[in-house]
Amino acid sequence: MLARLKAITSHTIKLDDAQATALEALLRERGFKPRTVPYARFAGEHEKLNVVFYESGKLVVQGKGTGEFIEFILEPEILKEARLGYETEMNPELLDARLGVDESGKGDLFGPICIAGVYVNEKVIRAWEDSGVRDSKAISSDKKIGELADVIRKTPGCVSTVVPIGNASYNRLHAKMGSVNKILAWGHARVIENLMGQKHRMNPAPVRAISDQFARSKATVAQALMTLGREIELVQRHKAESDIAVAAASILARDEFVRKLSGMEKLYGVKLPKGAGAQVDVALKDFHAKHGSNKMYDAVKLHFRTVEKVLGPNWAGNRVLRDGDEESK
């Protein structure tokens, strides 16, 4: 445990006013040199360690001595309890065998929605302790996403699956269902079903499946569950990515989305930016000018308001139909 703490070089935690006051006094006693940091109530440095307490109530500790500072000063003197490195001892459920499900691409005009699921057990969770596996939204580098996705896929005991919903299928489903949440519910249910179909590879069997609560009603996903998915408890909660199983799923989903989008750029010869904004507006104009209305169905989420905003309410072919699909209003 001590070796793990010593390897830590950065730590962030919230302190109340009394804890902050006690820490400020303690830093003076321990010979920390005062520093001036914007928006900080106080800050100090000692050898290769920097401690900053912000007006927001956030404490940031950085440097090679972070682990020792937490173990010998912050926890015993200020927090009055040991927390770091003992999370699983205090909450054994963190090591339960479970499934995590998450998606990527929901807010991107170009490209598919990709939904991933991951099975973890205690051995897998222990293997990832120092791997950097965390919510994909906290990782800005596509390269890093790819590296972590590779780690996840190669971890012994981990079982995973990814369900990409390409743009043609997405547009067809949206025309039929009329709701992004219903599409996501179907996708989450499909991923859980696919994972449960591989239960023979899971030891021990998962006790629950965890996903973010993206719909107002939890029943939206629960009602979409299929035969095998109904055999397991479904837990939906906000900020579910804080769970390592969901975080791992978010990385696999983002990696698949990035790969699919890159393939589309090569296919169409047009840069397809992620997300939304001015760059996406320009790319949409370029795509439509180069490929026309028909290919929009295969690359763009047509119900996004951006489409009408950029191309106008009567953009040519805005009622593109495929194989008798119902018209998308």
Question: pLDDT (tens digit, 0 to 9) for every residue of the chain, 329 residues total?
Answer: 444 444 578 788 889 999 999 999 999 999 999 999 999 999 999 988 999 999 999 999 998 888 889 888 998 889 886 555 545 544 557 789 999 999 999 999 999 999 999 999 999 998 987 788 888 888 889 999 999 999 999 999 999 999 999 999 999 999 999 999 999 999 999 999 999 999 999 999 998 999 999 988 889 999 999 999 999 999 999 888 888 999 999 999 999 999 999 999 999 999 999 998 999 999 999 999 999 988 999 999 999 999 999 999 888 554 544 443 433 32
Which two tokens mark 136?
């994909």
Torsion angle, CA of 88/91/92/96, rounded to 10 degrees?
-90
Q: Residue 140 is encoded by which pair of tokens? A: 């800005």
Q: Which fold has domain 93-261?
A: Nucleotidyltransferase; domain 5 (3.30.420)
- Helix, strand, coil percentages in the chain from 3-state DSSP, rounded to 5: 45, 20, 35
Give CATH for domain 2-85: 3.30.310.10
Beta strand ranges found along 178-286 (DSSP E): 208-212, 233-237
Q: What span, in angstroms and rounded, lies between the C-alpha atoms of 98 and 149? A: 18
pLDDT of residue 316: 58
**Rounded to an integer, what distance in angstroms lies between the CA atom of residue 294 and that of residue 322?**
9
Residue 246 near residue 211, CB atoms below 8 Å: yes
User: How do the domains of the chain map onto residue ranges?
Assistant: 2-85, 93-261
pLDDT number for residue 317: 53
As a whole number of angstroms, the distance between CA 182 and CA 302 comes to 16
Rounded distance, CA 184 to CA 181, Å? Answer: 5
Q: Please state, in angstroms and rounded to a whole number, the distance separating the CA atoms of residues 51 and 15.
A: 13
Q: What is the pLDDT of residue 129?
A: 77
